[in-house]
Amino acid sequence: MIALIFVAVIVLVVLVVIITAMLFRRVVATNEVHIIQSAKNTTSFGKDTGNGNTYYEWPS
């Protein structure tokens, strides 16, 4: 019985991690560029940037 509860908790944690990642993932449209500024650097995502067109938009 304890093993079943343990497996259920592990499955729940994995689902929460996957759903959280899906909620914060941003896909930049083909003809757009998003500029992301952090404390130390600026990174561009999207058209002709070389960084791809997806990033994670974590709340500040």
Determine contact, residues 7/15, Cβ cutoff 8 Å: no
Could you give the number of structural domains in the chain? Answer: 1
The identity of residue 47, as a single letter, is K
So what's the pLDDT on residue 58? 82
pTM comes to 0.64
How far apart CA 60 and CA 49 sit, in angstroms, is: 24
Range of the domain at 36: 1-56
Question: Average pLDDT for consecutive 10-residue bins of the chain (60 residues)?
Answer: 95 97 91 89 90 85
Residue located via tokens 């130390």: 40
Residue 44: which residues within 8 A CB-CB, separation 6 or more? 33, 34, 35, 36, 51
